[in-house]
Structure 1
Amino acid sequence: MISTRILPLTALLLTAAIFGFFYAWVCSTMWGLDRLPPARAIEAMQAMNASVRNAVFFPAFFLTPVALFALSLALALKRRKAPATWFGVSALVYLIGGFGVTALVNVPMNEALAEVDLANTAADVTAIWRDYSDQWQFWNQIRTVASGLAVIMAGLGLTGLTGLGRAA
Structure 2
Amino acid sequence: MTFPITNIALIIAALSSGLLAGVYFAFSTFVMQSFARLPVDQGIAAMQSINVTIVRSPFIAVFLLAAALSLFIAVMAFLNWRGTASVMMLTGAVLYIVASFLSTIVFNVPLNDALAKADGHTAEAAQLWATYLSDWTQWNHVRTVASLLAACAFVKALF
| TM-score, with length taken from structure 1 | 0.83
Q: Larger deviation: 80-89 or 129-138?
A: 80-89
Residue 142 in 1 paired to residue 142 in 2? yes
Shift of the alpha carbon at 1:79? Answer: 4.5
* 1:14–1:64 Cα contact (<8 Å) kept: yes
Moved more, 69-78 or 14-23: 69-78
Identity of aligned residues (%): 29
How many residue pairs were aligned? 157
Cα gap change, 1:145 to 1:79, in 2 (>3 Å) = closer
Structure 1 match to 2:105: 103
Shift of 1:65: 2.6
Listed as ranges, the matches of 1:1-168 within 5 Å are: 3-74=5-76, 76-121=78-123, 124-159=124-159
Q: Which residue does the alignment assign to 1:164?
A: none
Describe the shift of the 1:55–1:129 C-alpha distance in structure 2 as closer, same or farther (beyond 3 A).
closer
Q: What is the one-letter code of the residue matched to 1:17? A: L
**Structure 1 stretches lacking a partner, 5+ long:** 160-168
Superposed displacement of residue 64, structure 1: 1.0
Paired residue type of 1:146: A
Gaps of 5+ in 2: none
* TM-score (norm: length of structure 2): 0.87
Q: Does the residue aligned with 1:119 lie in a helix, a strand or coil?
A: coil
